[in-house]
Amino acid sequence: MLKKLTPHQDMSGAEIKIKDAVFPSPFETGLEFSAPARGPWNIVHTGMLIPESHQIFACARGCLRGVILTAAEMNAMNRMSWVSLEENDLFSGKMESDLEESCAHILEQMPGKPKAVLLFISCVHLFAGFDFTIVLEHLQERFPQIDFIDCYMHPTMRKSGLTPDQLMRQQLFAPLKPLPENKTAVAILGNDRPADPESFLCNTLKNNGLQLYDITLCKDYEEYRKIGESSLMIATYPPAKAGAEHLAKRMNRKFFYFPISYSYAENAGNQKKLIDLLGLPSVDPEEQIKKAEEALANAKSVIGDMAIEIDYTSTPRPLGLARLLLEHGFNVKRVYADVFIGEEKEDFEYLKANFPELILTATVHVKMRFSGKGIRTEEPILAIGQKAAYFSGTGKFVNIVAGGGAHGFEGIVRMCEWMIEAFQNEKNTPEVIKLKGLGCESCLL
């Protein structure tokens, strides 16, 4: 008795040509659908980056379910505990003391104490006027050997100030204390996966004898704490920018934002700024541009005119990537995003003027429940990103999230390699995209 109850193929309202779209939110808001593409990291995955840490979530059962099973699927239940919030708790007047006692109970039961505890509260706590500070202070007094980190799972506030993702990437470094500044140490902050060691950024640091700190590479808590000696703090991933800047300011260190970009001019400009900040001799990007051009030409010769669709989970700059590919003759048909970050404004305006037929498609619109799974597969599609793969129903897709660790000119070369690989090797899309937190361990494999 498996059947499609109400098929919908009229996508008006869920898609728009860029020439008719407004920046940064091309679509009317409304009820939301969630596509089953689970590669993007959530706050549990990000929090697990702190070595030797433990997470405790205090929230309602419905909210706990998602985070607990995130940990379960990444075989990390030994690093996850919870305190469920029930209706009576909201009116008991004991929310703070109850949470303190529950956390203490959990920690007392643990055979080995964690170095840090990420304690998450939820929207309801904030609306109830919960005094988080007093709970953290008391826990710190009771467990002085543990660093307690205030963390938040508060999606109700996702449009007010920092998003939960941005805040998580900020709190990821909350326990760090300023160590004596090491002029030869540089930190890349807030990314999910190690920066590409072949990137200009990493190569420059390595070739000039600089120490690179990256939380994704920290083996233990002691190494993590050494991030505090960095003289320069760099963010490359937009949701990490606010947190990295905050940390640099708190520690009175230099901050540099070197974002993932597909613009030659922007990458060249940022390379120069980095070189200047480090006091190194200037580098001509001509050779890098040549390699990027060769990679793009090679990818075009392989992929030809196959339609390409890009989604916002694959890269924070889907419009920038679309622009680069369109400028190099690729047949980019569609970009999936519900909203664009401010950094994409220039590319949006450029595409609007030069490629007005480019289609923008929402991912959360109610009609998107019935998109994908082969409905629009009249022509073969190469997708970049899991949501583009799901909605287009293709098995040819670049399986990355958050830029995939690629960066700068070398990131463009890497993207071309990934596109060729995706073109040549079809994937079982539902099986691949169902895995949570791309790159994390999974019990489903």
Partner 1 sequence: MKQTARIISIYASDTAGVCSMLYELGGMTIVHDASGCNSTYSTHDEPRWYQHDSMIYISALTETDAILGNDARLVDDIVRAAEEMKPRFLALCGSPMPMMIGTDFDALATELEQKTGLPVFGLHTNGMNSYLNGASQALCAYLKRFCIEVPKEKKSVNIIGATPLDFSLNGSVGSIRSWLKDNGYQVVSCMAMGSSPEEISRAGKASVNLVISSCGLAAAEYLKKRFGAPWVSGVPYGKSFSAQLLNALELAEKTGICQSPHAARTGTKKVAVVGESVTASSFAAALETDCGLSVRVLCPQALQPSILADCDSLIDCEDSMAAAFAEADVVFADPLFEPVCPRGTIFIRHPHEAFSGRCFSGEIRNFVCRELKREMFSL
Residues in the site for partner 1, rule: CB under 8 A?
1-8, 13, 29-34, 36, 38, 59-66, 68-69, 72-73, 77-78, 80-87, 89-90, 101-102, 105-106, 109-110, 122-124, 127-128, 153, 155-160, 364, 366-367, 369-370, 373, 430, 434, 436, 443-444
Instruction: Give least dist CB 125 to partner 1, A.
Output: 10
Instruction: Give least dist CB 398 to partner 1, A.
Output: 22
Instruction: Give least dist CB 126 to partner 1, A.
Output: 9
- Please compute, for residue 356, the number of CA atoms within 13 A of its CA located in the half-sphere on the CB side: 3
Closer by beta carbon to partner 1, 31 or else 265: 31
Closer by beta carbon to partner 1, 192 or else 338: 338
Closer by beta carbon to partner 1, 84 or else 203: 84
Q: Which residues on neighbouring strands pair with residue 176, listed in sequence order?
A: none
Closer by beta carbon to partner 1, 109 or else 301: 109
Closer by beta carbon to partner 1, 72 or else 353: 72
Instruction: Give least dist CB 401 to partner 1, A.
Output: 14
Instruction: Give least dist CB 99 to partner 1, A.
Output: 10
Instruction: Give least dist CB 67 to partner 1, A.
Output: 9
Instruction: Give least dist CB 191 to partner 1, A.
Output: 22
Closest CA to 308 of 213, 240, 379, 400: 379
Closer by beta carbon to partner 1, 13 or else 197: 13
Q: How far apart are CA 309 and CA 322, in angstroms?
A: 9
The three-state secondary structure class of 260 is: coil
Q: Looking at residue 385, what DSSP letter applies? A: S
Q: Looking at residue 371, what DSSP letter applies? A: S
Q: How far apart are CA 263 and CA 57, in angstroms?
A: 40
Closer by beta carbon to partner 1, 285 or else 439: 439
Closer by beta carbon to partner 1, 244 or else 388: 388
Contact 311, 337 (CB under 8 A): yes
Q: Six-digit token pair at 238?
A: 């937009």
**Four-residue CA torsion sign, 424, 425, 429, 433:** negative
Closer by beta carbon to partner 1, 109 or else 145: 109
Closer by beta carbon to partner 1, 138 or else 352: 138
Instruction: Give least dist CB 4 to partner 1, A.
Output: 5
Sequence-distant (6+) residues with CB within 8 A of 395 are 389, 426, 427, 428, 429
For 133-136, the CB contacts below 8 A with 24+ separation are 134/96, 135/96, 135/99, 135/100, 135/103
Instruction: Give least dist CB 430 to partner 1, A.
Output: 6
Closest CA to 259 of 185, 347, 174: 347
Q: How far apart are CA 258 and CA 395, in angstroms?
A: 32
Q: How far apart are CA 132 and CA 141, in angstroms?
A: 14
Q: How far apart are CA 153 and CA 132, in angstroms?
A: 13
Q: Which residues on neighbouring strands pair with residue 54, listed in sequence order?
A: 117
Instruction: Give least dist CB 42 to partner 1, A.
Output: 9
Sequence-distant (6+) residues with CB within 8 A of 23 are 340, 344, 345, 348, 349
Closer by beta carbon to partner 1, 29 or else 354: 29
Instruction: Give least dist CB 312 to partner 1, A.
Output: 15
